Amino acid sequence: MNRLFFNTTIIRSFQSSGTAFFCLVRPTQARHLSIMPAAKDSPTIKVLMLHGYTQSGPLFHAKTRAMEKHLQKAFPGLSLSYPTGPVQLRPKDVPGYDPTSSDDPDSVEAYGWWRRSDTSDPPEYVRLEDGLETIAKVLETEGPFDGVIGFSQGAAMATMVASLLEGESRKKAFEQARSKSPLAIPYPMSFERLNHPPLKFGAAYCGFRAPGERYRGFYEAPHVQTPFIHFIGSLDSVVEEARTQGLVDATGGEGKTQVIMHPGGHFVPSGKQYLDTIAAFIREKMSSQTVDTDQDEKVEDMDVPF
Which has more pLDDT, 223 or 94?
A: 223
Say whether pLDDT at 265 is over 80.
yes
Average pLDDT over residues 90-97: 74
Of 34, 56, 81, 152, which residue is the catalytic one? 152
Question: What is the number of structural domains in the chain?
Answer: 1
Q: What is the pLDDT of residue 3?
A: 31
Percent of the chain with pLDDT over 70: 76
Residues 8-30 have a mean pLDDT of 43
61 part of the active site: no
Going by pLDDT thresholds of 50, 70 and 90, the confidence category of residue 99 is low
Averaged pLDDT score across all residues of the chain:
84
- pLDDT tens-digit series, residues 135-150: 999 999 999 999 999 9
Supply φ then ψ for residue 284, to 5 degrees: -60, -45
13 falls within a domain = no
pLDDT at residue 100, rounded to an integer:
61
**Residue 236 annotated in active site:** yes
Q: Give the total residue count for the chain.
A: 306
What is residue 8's predicted lDDT score, i.e. its pLDDT?
35
Decide: 46 and 142 in contact? Cβ < 8 Å.
yes
In a domain, 149, yes or no: yes
Per-residue pLDDT, 11: 37
Active site residue 104: no
Angle at 225 between CA 222 and CA 231, to 5 degrees: 120
Are 55 and 111 within 8 A, CB to CB?
yes
70, 81, 230, 236: the catalytic one is: 236
**Within a domain: 170:** yes
Q: What pLDDT score was predicted for residue 74?
A: 96
Report the Cα 197 to chain-centroid distance in Å.
Answer: 15
- What's the confidence (pLDDT) of residue 94? 76
Whether 1 is in a domain gets the answer no
Give me the pLDDT at residue 145, please. 98
- Domain assignment present for residue 168? The answer is yes
| List of residues 6+ apart from 246 with CB closer than 8 A | 208, 209
The answer to whether residue 83 is domain-embedded is: yes
* Rounded-to-integer distance, Cα 87 and Cα 126, Å: 9
Domain that holds residue 287: 24-92+107-296
Q: In this structure, what CATH number is given to the domain that contains residue 30? A: 3.40.50.1820
The answer to whether 207 and 218 are in contact (CB under 8 A) is no
Nearest to 115 by CA among 137, 99, 130, 136: 130
pLDDT band at 103 (very low <50, low <70, confident <90, very high): low
Per the domain annotation, does 42 fall within a domain? yes
Catalytic one among 196, 223, 249, 266? 266
- Asked whether residue 7 is domain-assigned, the answer is no
User: What is the DSSP pairing of strand 228-233 with strand 201-205?
Assistant: parallel
